[in-house]
Structure 1
Amino acid sequence: MSKYTLLLAASLFLCYACSTELPPDLAAELKTLPSELDYNLHVKPILSDKCFACHGPDKAKQKAGLRLDIAEAAYARLEENPGKVAIAKGSLRRSEVFHRIISTDPEYLMPSPASHLSLSNREKAILIKWIKDGAEYQPHWAFVAPKKTEVPKVKKAGWVKNPIDNFIVQKLEEEKLAPSPEASKEILLRRLSLDLTGLPPTLTEIDAFLQDKSPKAYEKQVDRLLNSPHYGEKMAVDWLDLARFADSHGYTVDRLRDMSPYRDWVIQAFNANQKYDQFIQWQLAGDMMPKPSKDMIIATAFNRNHPQNMEGGIIEEEFQTEYVVDRTNTFGEAFMGLSLGCAKCHDHKYDPLSQQNYYEIFSFFNNVKEAGQISWNSAPPTPTLMLPTEKQEKIIRFIQKTIAEQEQKITQLQAQSEPDFKQWLQSGAYQTLAKAKIPQNGLQAHYTFEDGDLKNSVNPKQIGIMKRETGMTGDKPDFVATNSGKALKMEGDVYLDLNEVGVFRKSEPFSIGIKVNIPKGLKEGVIFHKSSAERLYNFRGYHLYLKNDRLEINMAHTAPSNAISRVSQQPVPRDRWIQLTLTYDGSSRAEGFKLYQDGQALAMETTMDQLYKDIIFNSNPELGLQIGAWWRGLGFKGGQVDDIMVYQRELTPFEVEILAQKQSWPSIVSKKHQQLSAKEVAILQAYYQNSVSPGLLAAQKALQISRTQLSDSSAQVEELMVMQEMTKPKKTFLLQRGNYDMSGKEVFPNTPSAILPFPNNLPKNRLGLAQWLCLPEHPLTARVAVNRFWQNFFGAGLVKTTEDFGNQGELPSHLALLDWLALSFVESGWDIKALNKLIVMSATYRQSSKVNKNLREKDPENRFLARGPAYRMSAEMIRDNALTASGLLNKKIGGKSIKPYQPQGLWEINSANYAQDTTDAVYRRSLYIVVKRSVPHPTLATFDAGSRSYCVVRRQKTNTPLQALVTLNDPTFLEASKVLGVQMCNMPDARKAIVEVYRRLTGRQPAADEVELLLGLQKKQREKFQQNPEKTRGWLNAGLYKVDPTLDVALLAANAVVANTILNSDATLTRR
């Protein structure tokens, strides 16, 4: 090709590229558009879906440095071609976007073919018209505070029952649609009862409503159901999905846990009509309220409902981070309808949420002292709240009062013991102390290693054993020579097991002395401990640990929060012998837990001081003191130990100096009492009070008994995981790529300014965050809540994507109504029952769900609401409906979860045993069925019950053959059918029996042809069972319910088939 030809082709291409002439199909599409475009309604959905992935808020993914989500960037000169702009207001010729979207050159076309995000002709036409009209940007509708609008006036004013209907009718009139007539009273009452209580109406309730001809008949039913104790149960089902409530920890092991007190609180809160702002503030930060009540703290279990991992070998910090990530993501989705999690690893690709925004919110939830690897036993992960019964609380308070009195009495006895002490001093009895090199009173064990063995010199029958961290024996002790004799060298994986020595409860005073030589290169490791493993049981017991050149003493029931933890404030000496003594007074307080180095008390920082349960395992035998290593943890590698002493009492400071060979008794007791200095007298007086005085020893023994009684009483008290703020705020860093071990810059608590800046007058903590969420000007909180409550009644929210109010979410079907409801909700004082009543009292809610072909074609998903909602009942409703209709339902409210019928062996996948309930607990509501995260109850799972491993605000809806197999074969439904069959046997008129059962299950009268079909089925099935009685067994043996043996089993089985057929019908399973 000649140079001239190339230049001509290039010129023609440039002319075409600069042309604003449209292809005929695009020009035709432009003519179909409305005269005015709305940016949020028409334009932004296209930009968000097709452009923001490469030209949106995520800086890391922005191509060519171009942003199209904000006006200033879209109007600015292009980074790669400063002579051009992406969008020129009102000018297609100057807008690069226009030329790109209409191009036929794959190298020039945008979106690029490689992205698979091509624009339709209509989408191109909308963008073209928008640019021609001035390319005006508007803020995202959900990030602008709702504005009160006037209730619209409509032509069908006679149909309207409250303002909701005005907004709905206005839209219907725009779409040239008419609302549907009101549903029949039977249908309406069943709909209302299911929506407000999750239970069907009884025949008595149906008949009473049918007979009530008063103008307020329907409203009376609304008020009755709103005040039903079962209202709270129904409301709780959806909230527990959102709160990811479960009865197990999740992950591979998935052990059970008990969070039922939180579920009980949620039910009670809904029944009491707790205002929504208070309801969510308590859950987010109830523990931080002024003088928080027990209920306020229980509510914070919301933040701890997430899965927690107990698998061995996991990385502590990784899972601590995961738990905070869960809280952060749940906060965003549950309360603001935002996919915050999309900003964990990078800036959000579609919404104005940066990665820094994410970790600023993350920091609000990152100030809890919790374990990443939770305890292998049944101890609830801390922090926890003790939940004693009324009886337990009385006992505990009595013991606590007794302890306080006994502690005061000891203080008084110490002051009163002066005369007795002087008499003892003058008698010279103290001079006998010269006989022993170390204190002998209370000495349980002493290991010197001088004879090259591991014998306890106090009790030579007690011989220590060298063990591997796995518990294997066979290793020989490695004795090394020192200036003072022999010492034991530790290699880090082998420990000295002292068997039953050192077994103490938190109520028992004790002291442990040990000489150690810490090698220079050892950064971290355990010196001694009495526990099962490092993290396996969250450090239950006590230990002395070297970390970061400091010494840590710890005593725990379940670390890190049900514990005492203290850390020395000075560096530990290396490569020389030092003597360490730990003393404890049995008080369960940090001040009673001391550490001495070479006889001198070390300055200690207390990092945790709330030990409220015992430190032993109550196993037989109980594990004793172990030196130098522990299972799955770092040991005292290269270190040396010597002269180990264990006392069953708290040593005095002078006695500690004796162990460190800094003092000795002979230097004092060799003197006559008149020659003693004041300091020496004080030393002897401390010894007298601690080891001699009969009155004080008896008082101390009584105090120890009371403290043990408190430990025993507290052991029976149940605990609930809750939130508890750390006194010293934890630093938070932006995690690069979301990785726990890739810390970036430090961030501080804050909220995204694109949503609502955090006010200066609120505290920068969880309480402040909860208060920020409920500010009247917050654009999302009320909208999201109202939308979710609307979804409960219509099957879909006004914003269908309940979980996403951001740029990728669906636009509201009725924005003005959503805003009106949101503002009314706030103005009502966040009154949930008032909102629900407003919705169900509307003519919109009361419409018949019948639909004609025209309406179905125009609005298949019922987004215009020209008819009542009809959809399959929820998983819980389907089971509860069968139990209610049969009369089996156990209506007990609250309490622990139940284990109803379930196929055998399901839980064996993670070595768990499913012990099915054998009482009427199996007939309790589905709300109470145990939720094991790794193995959800198959019936509920098949009918789309929410996953409880993460926050779910909108359940999926499926329709599969498995669902029919469940209602045809699950023992619950077979048993309900059997019980209904028994009741039918007791009714002499078969026709009336069928009508009654049909009404119980469906809430309405059957049509005549339906009755005839069922009568025919009954007759056919009865003949079948009479010919083959063996086939009745499946029905007779279903469930726990025992059948009267005198009944006609063929008739019973036939009736059960009829009942089960009705139960499986669309009329039963569909909430209309």
Structure 2
Amino acid sequence: MPDTLMRNILTTLAIAFCFFSCGGKLPDEIRQAMDDLPEALDYNIHVKPILSDKCFACHGPDENTRHAGLRLDDAEAAFASLPESPGKVAIKPKRPFKSEMVWRILSDDPDFRMPTPESHLSLTDREKAILIRWIEEGAVYKKHWSFIPLATVPVPFPKNKTWGSNEIDRFVLSEMEIRGFHPSPEADKETLLRRISLDITGLPPTEEEMDAFLADNSPEAYEKQVDRLLASPHYGEKMALHWLDVARYADTHGYTVDRYRDMSLYRDWVIEAFNSNKPFDVFVTEQLAGDLLPNPSKEQLLATAFNRIHPQNMEGGIVDEEFRVEYVADRTNTLGKAFMALTLECARCHDHKYDPVSQKEYFELSSFFNQVDEAGQISWNDAMPVPTMLWTDDDKESLLRMLESDVEREQTKLNHVRREAEVPFATWLSQGEYQRLQAQEIPRGLKAHLDFDALPLTNTLNRGEKAFMESIELKNQTPALVSGRRSNAVKLNGDAWIRMEKSGVFSKSEPFSVSIWVNIPKERENGAIFHTGTGAVLYNRRGYHLYLKENRLELVLAHTAPYNAIIKETLDEVPKDQWINLAMTYDGSSSASGLHVFQNGKQLETKVAKDNLYKDILFGNSGQPGIQVGAVWRGRGLKNALADDLMVFDRKLTTLEVIQLADQQRFKELLSKDPTQLSKNEKEVLLDYFVHNHFPPFGQQVERLTEARRRQAAEVEPIQEVMVMQDMEPRRPTYLLVRGEYHAHGEEVFPGTPRSVLEMPDSLPKNRLGLAKWLLDKKHPLTSRVAVNRFWLYLFGRGLVATPGDFGNQGEMPSHPELLDWLSLDFMNSGWDVKALHKKILLSATYRQRSFASEELRERDPENIYLARGPSGRLPGEMIRDNALMASGLLNKKIGGPSVKPYQPEGLWRVNGGTYVEAKGDDLYRRSLYTFWKRSVPHPTTHIFDAPDRSESVAVRQETNTPLQALVLLNDPTFIEAARVLGAEMSTLPETHLAIQKAFRKVTGRSATDKELAILSELRESEYRKFQQAPEKAKGWVETGYYALSNTVDIPTLASHAVVASAIMNSDAAITKR
């Protein structure tokens, strides 16, 4: 018998002997802990937190890491016979000493004890007592509290009938009475007004607003202020500040390069959504699936940017698919954090270790977000990552409709002219004019020809234009010329390309054609043939391209692939190890129907992969390359392939002309036929040639059509693009990714939701709209609870659930579960009315309490979990800065628009090659909500005050206290300038105490106490004397910032007042909400 097994048996016998010899008594320390336990234990409140923290990592939902086959998160499994110990069970209800768990947790033997020493976890005596008592009581399992659907909760009747104004207070007071707490008195009017002003608008009250409230003695005075503030346009800004953390909004892409992208329109949408009191269910639906609504408005499309504003990578050399998969994962994780408070990311690589979410369910959920036609590596040239929409106002839309009509009208005229050509064509045909065509003639419109016959390579039509062979590593290489079709050809090395200086540059509105002879080795399956890009993936294939892709041809015209592009693929494979002519023709229509490819003069059948080109294929700057043959920069070429006779035309060649270039024998055979011998198709080929070459009205109309297209494109090109969601057709398959790795495909999965939360009804569409409806189903246990908890957090500084991003087993239990459920059900039944929810909370006596805590109260409830006092806490960095600007009168209250760049220390952006260009004028004083948010270098003022970098969704900000925060308030130019401007206002008052009192009230929202006034007056006098004696010391105070200084001001007076204003702005009263 193995030693370990024998030792375990002996240990079990020893414990059993101890218990039975003592009459079944527990160890004294466990028995004493039991005496202090509640009369009845609740699984969710008392037991599950222990199991989750100490047991589930090895005996929880994750099958891959489960030890000994034991699962403790499921009753049936926990009560079943142990796989490795037949006849024994981990838990036997009401029989603790028949339960293997009890023996294990009481054992002192390290080989037998649970949790194991290797886990570095241990149970306290109280925790052991809870588990044993729970088993004694029947080991009743319950569904996790947050997964239980909402049900009607009766409003309690506390003993104290005199306190409270609504249902919230009855729930809170009942809990206080159970725990021996008493509510605090109502805060004074000054404190209340500042509190609700900051909580609702993020701004302090003005002096006029304070005076009006203090003078209003009506019973409705407070409610009127709440209504006024909820109706303020600044309410939406305050709410947006919080939501943008959840939505991970930023002004840059993130990752190493971290370049600018303007998605401020989404921020404006969020502000307006809150200001207009958009119902929360609509708020959720439009962000998740606005594009899938019937006839969506542009605002509903814009809302879907919520799922696109995650970090995106433009670094060279990354694997495109790896990062595309990361973006899908980000959307999935954000869904969990934002709407369900579940740590779904923990189920990406394996089954969730604590919550009942399997890895398969994770990828079923990710399938909803895996249908975006996007690139993992976004364009290096700052093009907005696709899919995008054009954001236009009514005037621009009207103009675009007019220009579209112009194009359609010119196209109709062209069709009419073509029909008019049929009569003269019949004459031309019957007279055999076509038979005079010469096979050796080059079609008209030739703009460039590389014959590769001799070095240096030049355009045979313009010997002054050279062609250069170059690669990433080496410029001006010497091309290898070898024997070609007739003379020489160039042999491609797979790494370099041959670039013409200027030729081959066309816009999407201009017709063009390219012909080339190639001989592709049999072993080559992929590579570029010709293109006008400067790096295929690096610039999302901007330009036009002809590729060999898996032995077939791919034609691309792209602004930003894969979405804003035309992409066509041939059905048949390309012949290898022989000379073939390939020709690409395009009619300038920005449509796939106008793009064709020919092989040896025969038009190839193609399938359309994308037909959605709406912006230009040019780079729009001096970096625009000419046409290139061979590899693409940081892309693949056709090693050892031969190329010859590249020809570029500034018009769409007809089929006959392509045949003329590719197959002269076939050309001659066609022309040798008598008119009566021509097939219908051959006559169509000749008609097309005739109208393009022998019927001048057609060419003239083509020019008019091209010009109309140019005018249209010129108006479209500068229009701002915004990222949106749009699903692909057909759907992209989704796979369970083994270990979460992008390339490790497991089984295919299909759209679905976690069953433990709520089964997705078959009646719902299996797309993001169906997902939104699933989230907002009245049976869904999480969505309303999570939202209500978040709104409570914004007002109290702590949610009813202290972990707003985790309602799972590792999260905190609600402090007031019945209140949370009552509010959540009421929120849904109100039509998801956010402002009504806010008003209900704001009018409660709970919220209106004084925040002062006695020493006893602070010791018994330091975090104010049981709400026996009002909310208090340090303001976010944005609000601290806005408060200073508001008090000084500098604040620019403009709402919406692109982000701005206030004062910032020099050189911070050098870390990734950026240059910070400071704003000018009033933009320096915009609200901090509009401060430029660079993910790799967040603005130091807000970042030091714990603003996140927003690389991922953030449910609640961490709160730190560091010396850097005090240094910001003392030295940030914004605060110095604000203090100076406020000091200038103080200087206009006749008496020092009046000046100080005014500044104090503007900054803190209340009057200074006598003690505070005395301290600040003494500071003012000492500083005044110092500046009188040494005026140069005032320089920093009076010259910081761009705001103009009055020529009449007395410098020592101004500087001393600025010091006082700065001291007030640095005070606890200024940066704390009471």
Cα drift, residue 445 of structure 1: 2.5
The alignment partner of 1:40 has SS state of: helix
Query: Which residue does the alignment assign to 2:550?
Result: 548
Cα drift, residue 438 of structure 1: 4.5
Opposite residue 561 of structure 1, the aligned amino acid is Y
1:464 and 2:467 aligned: yes
Range 409-418 or range 1015-1024, more displaced: 409-418
Range 402-411 or range 104-113, more displaced: 104-113
Contact 1:39 1:137 in 2 (8 A): yes
Distance of 2:239 and 2:8 partners within structure 1: 72
Distance of 2:35 and 2:301 partners within structure 1: 61
Query: Which residue does the alignment assign to 1:803?
Result: 805
The one of 855, 859, 862 equivalent to 1:860 is: 862
Q: TM-score, normalised by structure 2?
A: 0.97
1:246 and 2:250 aligned: yes
Distance of 1:71 and 1:481 partners within structure 2: 78
The alignment partner of 1:688 has SS state of: helix
Query: Which residue does the alignment assign to 2:44?
Result: 40
Distance change (3 Å), C-alpha of 1:636 and 1:155: same
Cα drift, residue 440 of structure 1: 2.1
Opposite residue 489 of structure 1, the aligned amino acid is K
Contact 1:146 1:819 in 2 (8 A): yes
Cα drift, residue 401 of structure 1: 1.1
User: Following superposition of structure 1 onto structure 2, how do residues 22-37 of structure 1 map, counting pairs within 5 Å?
Assistant: 22-37=26-41
Distance change (3 Å), C-alpha of 1:22 and 1:527: same
Contact 1:101 1:110 in 2 (8 A): yes
User: Following superposition of structure 1 onto structure 2, how do residues 114-153 of structure 1 map, counting pairs within 5 Å?
Assistant: 114-153=118-157
Matched residues, number: 1068
Cα drift, residue 391 of structure 1: 4.0
User: Following superposition of structure 1 onto structure 2, how do residues 219-618 of structure 1 map, counting pairs within 5 Å?
Assistant: 219-422=223-426, 424-425=428-429, 430=434, 432-434=436-438, 436-450=439-453, 454-470=457-473, 472-482=475-485, 484-618=486-620
The alignment partner of 2:497 has SS state of: strand
Distance of 1:1070 and 1:1037 partners within structure 2: 29
Query: Which residue does the alignment assign to 1:205?
Result: 209
Query: Which residue does the alignment assign to 1:839?
Result: 841
Distance of 1:12 and 1:1011 partners within structure 2: 74
The one of 884, 900, 903 equivalent to 2:886 is: 884
User: Following superposition of structure 1 onto structure 2, how do residues 546-945 of structure 1 map, counting pairs within 5 Å?
Assistant: 546-620=548-622, 622-661=624-663, 666-667=668-669, 680-945=682-947
Structure 1: segments with no counterpart, 5+ residues: none
Cα drift, residue 28 of structure 1: 1.3
Distance change (3 Å), C-alpha of 1:327 and 1:15: same
Cα drift, residue 668 of structure 1: 5.3
Cα drift, residue 1053 of structure 1: 0.5
Deviation per CA, 1:608-648, whole angstroms, max 9, x where unpaired?
Answer: 11111111112336311111111110101121222322211
Deviation per CA, 1:957-991, whole angstroms, max 9, x where unpaired?
Answer: 11111111110111111111101110011111221
The one of 51, 74, 80 equivalent to 2:55 is: 51
Contact 1:469 1:629 in 2 (8 A): no
Distance of 1:321 and 1:10 partners within structure 2: 51
Deviation per CA, 1:382-422, whole angstroms, max 9, x where unpaired?
Answer: 11111134443333222111001111111111112233434
Opposite residue 479 of structure 1, the aligned amino acid is V
Distance of 1:8 and 1:150 partners within structure 2: 54
Cα drift, residue 454 of structure 1: 3.4
The alignment partner of 1:607 has SS state of: strand
The alignment partner of 2:937 has SS state of: coil
The alignment partner of 1:754 has SS state of: coil
Deviation per CA, 1:104-153, whole angstroms, max 9, x where unpaired?
Answer: 22221111122121111110110110011111100000011111111111
Distance of 2:557 and 2:28 partners within structure 1: 81
Contact 1:657 1:663 in 2 (8 A): no
Range 264-273 or range 701-710, more displaced: 701-710
Cα drift, residue 466 of structure 1: 2.2
Query: Which residue does the alignment assign to 2:164?
Result: 160
Cα drift, residue 685 of structure 1: 2.0
Cα drift, residue 426 of structure 1: 6.4
The alignment partner of 1:876 has SS state of: helix
Contact 1:284 1:300 in 2 (8 A): yes
The alignment partner of 1:465 has SS state of: strand
Distance change (3 Å), C-alpha of 1:627 and 1:988: same
Distance of 1:424 and 1:120 partners within structure 2: 102
Range 784-793 or range 680-689, more displaced: 680-689
Distance of 2:388 and 2:85 partners within structure 1: 60
Distance change (3 Å), C-alpha of 1:1055 and 1:6: closer
Opposite residue 187 of structure 1, the aligned amino acid is T
Cα drift, residue 747 of structure 1: 0.9
Cα drift, residue 689 of structure 1: 1.3
Range 666-675 or range 586-595, more displaced: 666-675
Cα drift, residue 1005 of structure 1: 1.2
Deviation per CA, 1:574-597, whole angstroms, max 9, x where unpaired?
Answer: 222222111111000111111122
Query: Which residue does the alignment assign to 1:1018?
Result: 1020
Opposite residue 478 of structure 2, the aligned amino acid is D
Contact 1:1018 1:1057 in 2 (8 A): yes
Cα drift, residue 572 of structure 1: 2.0
- Identical pairs, percent: 53
Opposite residue 414 of structure 1, the aligned amino acid is R
Query: Which residue does the alignment assign to 2:64?
Result: 60
Deviation per CA, 1:706-740, whole angstroms, max 9, x where unpaired?
Answer: 11122221111111111111011111111111111
Contact 2:226 2:839 in 1 (8 A): yes
Query: Which residue does the alignment assign to 1:184?
Result: 188
The alignment partner of 1:533 has SS state of: coil
Cα drift, residue 872 of structure 1: 0.5
Cα drift, residue 189 of structure 1: 0.5
Distance change (3 Å), C-alpha of 1:118 and 1:685: same
Range 389-398 or range 42-51, more displaced: 389-398
Deviation per CA, 1:845-869, whole angstroms, max 9, x where unpaired?
Answer: 0000011111111111000000001
Cα drift, residue 517 of structure 1: 1.7
Distance of 2:276 and 2:12 partners within structure 1: 76
The alignment partner of 2:836 has SS state of: helix
The alignment partner of 2:517 has SS state of: strand
Contact 2:373 2:563 in 1 (8 A): yes
Query: Which residue does the alignment assign to 2:197?
Result: 193
Contact 2:19 2:25 in 1 (8 A): no
The alignment partner of 1:82 has SS state of: strand
Opposite residue 477 of structure 1, the aligned amino acid is A
Cα drift, residue 424 of structure 1: 4.8
Distance of 1:821 and 1:662 partners within structure 2: 82
Cα drift, residue 196 of structure 1: 0.3
Structure 2: segments with no counterpart, 5+ residues: none
Contact 2:429 2:675 in 1 (8 A): yes
The alignment partner of 1:563 has SS state of: strand
Opposite residue 921 of structure 1, the aligned amino acid is D
The alignment partner of 1:1010 has SS state of: helix
The alignment partner of 1:1056 has SS state of: helix
Cα drift, residue 257 of structure 1: 0.9
Contact 2:659 2:667 in 1 (8 A): no
Q: TM-score, normalised by structure 1?
A: 0.97
Distance of 1:181 and 1:48 partners within structure 2: 40
The alignment partner of 2:997 has SS state of: helix
The one of 1032, 1042, 1045 equivalent to 1:1040 is: 1042
Distance change (3 Å), C-alpha of 1:12 and 1:384: closer
